[in-house]
Structure 1
Amino acid sequence: MSNPSKQRGTAWESAFVAYLREHHNPDARRNVQMGAKDIGDVDGYFLHAAELKAEKSITLADYIAQANRERIHAGQPFGCAVVKRRMKGVADGYVVRDVRTDVRLMNRLFDMENGLRVVDPQLYEALDKRHREAA
């Protein structure tokens, strides 16, 4: 691969997938590009079409528009851009979405947590404790 920008992008996607496999979903993988019907760069980021960017100049509006288009193609409820932070590792990168998408995500999380709290309070408490400690 002779294009340095493409090499940086591929390295960022691979590093993000490795991070997801360790901390989120062992089945995460890079997607094959599909042109006009692209479904995001990574599969396995729960409920999301993820558009990964490792660029010197960051253009959030373009990234979010692309992620929102690709989430429709991927059949996912949410789109996000995962932006590499210069000179930092994956855990210090940024996950970015527009406010509309974030509010939909928070509403879903709120409804699911409240539903679990009603159906199985002990499980809710255990999961809440686990995730608070992980932060």
Structure 2
Amino acid sequence: MANPSKAKGTAFESLVVAYLRDHHNSATHRNVQMGAKDIGDIAGYYLHAVEAKAEKEITLSSYIAQANREATHAGQPFGCAVVKRRMKGVGDAYVVRDLATDVRLMNRLRDMEACLQSVAPAAYALVDRQHREAAA
């Protein structure tokens, strides 16, 4: 690849895809770029269009605007940017979204958990315990 910055970005996208395949969804993949109707760099992160960024100078506002625009193009309710941290592995990257998007995500999570808890309390308790233990 002639452009070293593009090569770094592509390498980071590949690392993010591998991480998400291992820890989230084995069907995660890099998207083909579509110009003005781009749908994000990565598909397979549940309910999200993902913009992967590995740049020396971090510009969160442009990343979030791009992620939100591409989520709309992809038909996903949420956009986020996965931003590489210097001198850190891919698991230490930042996942960034604006507050309005995060509130919509948390409201959805809260409502879905309440629904599951009312319909299947034992299943809710099991899943809740698994996720709490994974965070410990």
TM-score range, shorter chain: over 0.9
- Residue 46 of structure 1 corresponds to 46
- In structure 1, how many angstroms separate the alpha carbons of the residues matched to 2:55 and 2:76? 25
Deviation at 1:2, TM superposition (A): 1.7
Alignment of 1:17-28 (within 5 A): 17-28=17-28
* Identical amino acids, percent of aligned pairs: 72
- Residue 86 of structure 2 corresponds to 86
Deviation at 1:134, TM superposition (A): 1.1
Structure 2: 5+ residue runs without aligned partners? none
Deviation at 1:49, TM superposition (A): 0.4
- The CA deviation string for residues 69-124 of structure 1, in whole angstroms up to 9 with x for no partner, is 00000000000011000111111000000000000000000000000000000000
What is the one-letter code of the residue matched to 2:101? T
Partner SS state of residue 129, structure 1: helix
What is the one-letter code of the residue matched to 1:84? K
What is the one-letter code of the residue matched to 2:10? T
Partner SS state of residue 69, structure 2: helix
Alignment of 1:1-135 (within 5 A): 1-135=1-135
Moved over 6 A (4+): none
Give the superposed CA RMSD: 0.4
Structure 1: 5+ residue runs without aligned partners? none
Q: Structure 2-normalised TM-score?
A: 0.98
Deviation at 1:19, TM superposition (A): 0.3
Q: Structure 1-normalised TM-score?
A: 0.99
Partner SS state of residue 50, structure 1: strand
Count of aligned pairs: 135
- In structure 2, how many angstroms separate the alpha carbons of the residues matched to 1:71 and 1:112? 21
